[in-house]
Structure 1
Amino acid sequence: MTRETGRKLIASNKKARHDYAILKTYEAGIVLAGTEVKSLRAGYCSLRDAFAGEHEGEIMLYGLHIAEYGFGSWTNHAPRRTRKLLLHKVEISRILAQLRDGNGLTMVPLSLYFNDGWAKVELALARGLRSYDKRQALAARDAQREIAKHLGRHLKGATTSRP
């Protein structure tokens, strides 16, 4: 069997980009059991309640739901078990230093994907947004959409603008 190449997205956490201000992103490997990999290849995964945290000097992923593999037997995994993330020691020490500073930062997974056959998770060092920050972002996005719509009409020659 030939080895996979390229990047295949399994799941993304769109809500995280809405709820958090992303400061820095990291790519980490993830330690999985055999039935977890088969379930991920089928696309049965949810990042909704997942977050990363420290456990004995390592970074672990909590709350990631990978459904049990349908054809698994007694070797099946627990769907929400804690999973170890694979990062370089230097990256781990930098991340943990920033998390311990007490600036209200957290680690949230943004996406889970296969990169050349290896399961990877994109982590973000993020700060939670308040509701007024979210409203400002939505208003700015709507304004940009409105500007693009009017510019598109202008470029096409439709000079009449409708309210």
Structure 2
Amino acid sequence: MAARNKRGDSGLISHGTVAENRRARFDYEVLDTLEAGIMLTGTEVKALRNGEAQITESYVSPEGGELWLINATIPEYIQANRFNHDEKRRRKLLVSRKEMVRLAKGVERSGNTIVALKLYFNDRGLAKLLIGLAKGRKSFDKRNVLKDRDWARDKQRLLKQG
């Protein structure tokens, strides 16, 4: 399946990527990933179907035996009028208890955090969030990652030419 949005005749996203945090893979070393459901209101789902969301500054926090998505922006759905949602509200993530405990233990280790990687609609039309247990990178690690990517790209060019 392609990584592009699947839009119907009405211009709404039926399944595919809504928002992606591309910066996370550069700033963090992702150790493990997990698909989580999100508890959303109706106007939030409609705003997501319009392709409007921002998760670059968001993170996931384990609190009280639950996972919460914090600082994600889903703009107001204009047609909802006075029944709209708060753009930056905390949203509960739906994962099994076993996965929740595994992630919470991973966060207790020094330097680990849970970051939001991708917000999308699956094939059944349900909103899902790909989260990752990640360890922060230092600035010299980031330089090494850039150097490795450049070398891999140059290597592919050389192989293609030769």
TM-score, scaled to structure 1: 0.88
Counterparts of 1:1-163 in structure 2 under 5 Å? 7-100=15-108, 102-115=109-122, 116-154=124-162
CA distance in 2, matches of 1:20, 1:7: 27
Could you list the runs of 4 or more consecutive aligned residues of structure 1 that deviate by over 6 angstroms after TM superposition? Answer: none
Question: Aligned partner of 1:13: which letter?
Answer: N
CA distance in 1, matches of 2:106, 2:151: 34
CA distance in 1, matches of 2:15, 2:131: 16
CA distance in 2, matches of 1:149, 1:45: 35
Say which one has the larger Rg.
1
Q: Unmatched 5+ residue regions in structure 2?
A: 1-13
How many aligned residue pairs are there? Answer: 148
Percent identity, aligned pairs only, is 40
Q: Unmatched 5+ residue regions in structure 1?
A: 1-5, 155-163
Q: For residue 77 of structure 1, give the secondary structure of its aligned residue in structure 2.
A: coil
Deviation per CA, 1:63-97: give whole Å up to 9, x if none: 01000001012210000000000000111111112
Deviation per CA, 1:29-88: give whole Å up to 9, x if none: 000000000000001100111000022110100001000001012210000000000000
Question: Aligned partner of 1:105: which letter?
Answer: N
TM-score, scaled to structure 2: 0.88
Deviation per CA, 1:123-144: give whole Å up to 9, x if none: 0000000111111111111111
CA distance in 2, matches of 1:136, 1:94: 30
Q: CA RMSD in A?
A: 1.1
